[in-house]
Each structure stands twice: as structure tokens, then as C-alpha cells.
């Protein structure tokens, strides 16, 4: 499954006094996966584009922290 959230396992030193974080995550921007901007992309209405920070829907990516649930998931 494609996701913009990636993860990696950093080096854990045996001499580190703090408890190790075994897996770290980071987020990549969706525009890194589009080689060029194709014509006729779907657009947000102008007032919504100002709130979201982009005019084109494929470039919008809301940030969720690694421990947050996305809206609509669960409960």
C-alpha cells in the first residue's frame, strides 16, 4: 500500500543511557511522487484551497502525528 509516511530503524547503542526508540517515522510530501504537473487536475474551490494550502487535490496531504488516529478511523 502506498503511503507518504515512511519508517526506519535507527542504530541503538548498547551504551545509550536512555531507553531506545526502535522505529522512527517521517512524512514525505506528495509532490515528490509527481514527475510533472499533468493538465486538468481536479481543484479545490478557492475558499477551501486557502484553508488547505494548495489548489490541487493531489498535492494536499493533511499531517497526522504518528500516534493520532485519522478522522473517521475507529470510535
> 9 vs 66, which has greater pLDDT?
9
Residue 2 CA to residue 23 CA, distance in Å, equals 19
Residue pLDDT, tens place only, 10-56: 999 999 899 999 999 888 888 888 888 888 999 999 999 999 999 99
Whether 75 shows a pLDDT value over 70: the answer reads no
Sign, Cα dihedral of 72, 69, 25, 50: positive
What is the pTM (predicted TM-score) of this model?
A: 0.61
* Total residues found in the chain within this entry: 75
Residue 23 CA to residue 10 CA, distance in Å, equals 7
Amino acid at each position: 500500500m502506498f503511503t507518504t509516511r515512511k519508517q526506519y530503524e535507527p542504530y541503538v547503542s548498547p551504551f545509550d543511557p536512555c531507553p531506545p526508540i526502535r522505529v522512527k517515522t517521517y512524512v514525505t510530501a506528495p509532490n515528490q511522487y509527481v514527475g510533472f504537473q499533468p493538465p486538468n487536475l481536479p481543484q479545490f474551490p478557492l475558499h477551501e484551497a486557502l484553508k488547505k494550502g494548495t489548489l490541487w487535490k493531489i498535492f494536499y496531504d493533511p499531517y497526522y502525528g504518528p500516534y493520532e488516529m485519522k478522522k473517521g478511523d475507529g470510535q
